Amino acid sequence: MSLSAMLKEHHQRTASRKEEQEKRKREAIAAASEFSSALVDHLNVGVSQAYINQKKLDTETRMLQSSVTSFNKQTVLWLKLVEDLKNSLKELGDVENWSKSIESDMKTVASALEYTFKQASQIR
């Protein structure tokens, strides 16, 4: 084999290797790009789910705050009603005591009148 044939064969092998290296380089770049896209897509799914969950939590928090405010107003009304009922029962108890006192006084007056009437009847 001659020197020029060996040189030619060497150049062909070198060119073939360079082509193979370029092919592998393009494949590696494509694979890295696909991997990056897949990774970003996977992360975006998690991030978008977290965002959706946060929106739901915000909505539920607002609803809960509204419910708590409404419950608080209702509780204040109930407390006022209970206080009014307590005062009414207290007044009713005061009226009952007053009526018993009046009844006792009326019995005393009636007894005194009856006694006076009997005394006046005996004197005549």
The pLDDT of residue 112 is above 80 = yes
- Specify the pTM: 0.48
Say how many residues make up the chain: 124
> Which pair of tokens denotes residue 22?
């370029």
Categorize the per-residue pLDDT at 41 as very low, low, confident or very high, splitting at 50, 70 and 90. Answer: confident
> Which pair of tokens denotes residue 90?
């207290």
The pLDDT of residue 52 is above 80 = yes
What are the DSSP calls for 4-65, one per residue? HHHHHHHHHHHHHHHHHHHHHHHHHHHHHHHHHHHHHHHHHHHHHHHHHHHHHHHHHHHHHH
